[in-house]
């Protein structure tokens, strides 16, 4: 005799039919202060994300009680901004740990799919000129299209114990290459590089290099620190400045490049899952990379909505300062000529 097998909802088993979940919870029932303190963002921003991602989060399911897009967005935001799957977030949302993990995975993939929409360099001439003007207004550095640097995000040791993810500090991490504009909005984000790779090697192999060497603007450059090689499209500081012009160049370079460090601090402050205070990201390198990229997308969307947290005090765990890198010397004579011309034209 065949025995029927029932497929049970894990949330129903855990909480019962009377449990108040966010599928029965309306955003208008709570204050903006509650939403910001619990999920990191106000109501208008959350509603925008639900509209943006709703189609991707409403894919057909065989579960008897699918989780609404609104609930999935709130669950993911709660994780990104708190860095924890712990009881407080589970109680606030009213879903099981397993369901919350699915929500984070679904929202993360939906945001990653939209990364090209929100993270990209401007293309029309007016927008490119505006980009340069914004940078020039900071410290008088001309022709800047973006500032570039790398930052590490700690992850758990991969199952294969791949040593390629062990960084200079002996920790498992992903080395993330990013470029931002003068407001701190990201123009490029490559979040998948193993932590053992030096910054200069990451840049050498990155899609960003291919873009700038084959496609992007020939009348401007990125600014990078001394961990990178000088290139025709990447201006680095002088190792030992000697003349007043060289000192002025280095000062303008440092003041402008500082925007990317400020941006890294902002992203870690807003998205606590990346700052290490709750431990490492407990996912494979691939999934961790996607979570980082999803947070980068949210960072840009938040700036578009006027949610600038640069003025907010940093809280929690601070990223340890990066180790000093050996000064990279360039053998590119054309890059040296361009930098020297920049010194003579704008800083002499």
239-280 tens-digit pLDDT: 999 999 999 999 999 999 999 999 999 999 999 999 877 678
Q: Is residue 337 part of a domain?
A: yes
- Closest by CA position to 147, among listed 257, 288, 231, 52: 257
Residue 89 is predicted with a pLDDT of 59
- Closest by CA position to 270, among listed 109, 105, 45, 94: 45
131 or 310, which is more confident: 131
Residues 124 and 90 in one domain: no
Residue 46 is predicted with a pLDDT of 95
Residues 152 and 166 in one domain: yes
Distance CA 103, CA 71 (A): 8
- Whether 10 has a pLDDT exceeding 50, the answer reads no
- Whether 172 has a pLDDT exceeding 70, the answer reads yes
Residues 86 and 149 in one domain: no
Residues 81 and 207 in one domain: no
Q: Is residue 96 part of a domain?
A: yes
- Whether 17 has a pLDDT exceeding 70, the answer reads no
Residue 34 is predicted with a pLDDT of 87
Q: Is residue 153 part of a domain?
A: yes
Residue 1 is predicted with a pLDDT of 47
How many domains does the structure of the chain reveal?
2
Lowest mean pLDDT among 18-27, 55-64, 167-176, 329-338: 18-27
Residues 160 and 238 in one domain: yes
Residues 264 and 134 in one domain: yes
- Pick the last residue of a domain from 92, 115, 138: 115
Q: How many CA atoms lie within 13 A of 181 on its CB side?
A: 19
Residues 148 and 84 in one domain: no
Residues 172 and 226 in one domain: yes
Q: Is residue 6 part of a domain?
A: no
- Whether 316 has a pLDDT exceeding 60, the answer reads no
Q: Is residue 9 part of a domain?
A: no
Helix or strand run (H / E) with residue 191: strand 186-194
Residues 171 and 98 in one domain: no
Residues 90 and 151 in one domain: no
Residues 134 and 259 in one domain: yes
Model confidence, pTM: 0.86
Q: Taking a C-beta distance cutoff of 8 angstroms, is the pair 249, 222 a contact? A: no
161 or 185, which is more confident: 185
**CB-neighbour burial class of residue 98 (10 A; exposed 0-12, middle 13-18, buried 19+):** exposed
Checking 218-223 for CB contacts under 8 A at 24+ apart, the result is 219/143, 220/128, 220/132, 220/143, 220/144, 220/145, 221/143, 221/144, 221/145, 221/338, 222/144, 222/145, 222/146, 222/147, 222/148, 222/179, 223/141, 223/144, 223/146, 223/147, 223/148, 223/253, 223/256, 223/257
62 or 155, which is more confident: 155
Q: Is residue 303 part of a domain?
A: no
User: Domain range holding 198?
Assistant: 119-285+329-347
Q: How confident is the model at residue 329 (pLDDT cuts 50, 70, 90)?
A: low
Residues 124 and 75 in one domain: no
Strand 173-180 and strand 186-194: the pairing is antiparallel
Q: Is residue 265 part of a domain?
A: yes
325 or 259, which is more confident: 259
Distance CA 188, CA 218 (A): 18
């Amino acid at each position: 005799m065949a025995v029927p097998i029932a497929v049970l909802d894990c949330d129903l088993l855990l909480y019962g039919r009377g449990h108040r979940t966010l599928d029965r919870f309306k955003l208008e029932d709570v204050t903006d202060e509650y939403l910001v303190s619990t999920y990191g963002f106000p109501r208008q921003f959350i509603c925008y994300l639900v509209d943006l991602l709703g189609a991707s989060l409403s894919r057909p399911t065989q579960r008897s009680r699918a989780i609404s897009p609104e609930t999935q967005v709130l669950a993911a935001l709660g994780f990104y901004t708190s860095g924890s799957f712990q009881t407080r977030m589970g109680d606030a949302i009213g879903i099981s740990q397993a369901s919350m993990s699915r929500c984070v995975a679904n929202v993360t993939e939906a945001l990653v799919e939209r990364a090209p929409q929100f993270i990209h360099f401007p293309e029309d001439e007016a927008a490119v000129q505006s980009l340069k003007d914004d940078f020039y207004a900071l410290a008088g550095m001309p022709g800047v299209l973006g500032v570039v640097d790398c930052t590490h995000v700690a992850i758990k040791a991969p199952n294969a114990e791949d040593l390629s993810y062990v960084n200079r500090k002996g920790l498992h991490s992903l080395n993330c290459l990013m470029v931002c504009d003068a407001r701190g909005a990201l123009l490029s984000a490559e979040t998948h590089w193993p932590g053992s790779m030096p910054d200069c090697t990451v840049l050498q192999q990155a899609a960003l290099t291919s873009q700038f060497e084959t496609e992007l603007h020939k009348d401007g450059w990125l600014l990078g620190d001394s961990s990178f090689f000088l290139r025709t499209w990447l201006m680095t500081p002088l190792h030992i400045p000697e003349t007043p012009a060289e000192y002025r160049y280095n000062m303008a370079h440092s003041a402008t490049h500082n925007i990317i460090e400020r941006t890294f601090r902002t992203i870690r402050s807003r998205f606590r899952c990346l700052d290490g205070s709750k431990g490492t990201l407990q996912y494979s390198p691939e999934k961790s990379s996607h979570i980082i990229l999803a947070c980068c997308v949210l960072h840009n969307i938040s700036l578009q909505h006027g949610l600038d947290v640069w003025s907010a005090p940093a809280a929690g765990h601070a990223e340890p300062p990066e180790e000093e890198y050996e000064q990279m010397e360039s053998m590119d004579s054309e890059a040296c000529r361009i930098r020297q011309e920049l010194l003579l034209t704008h800083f002499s």
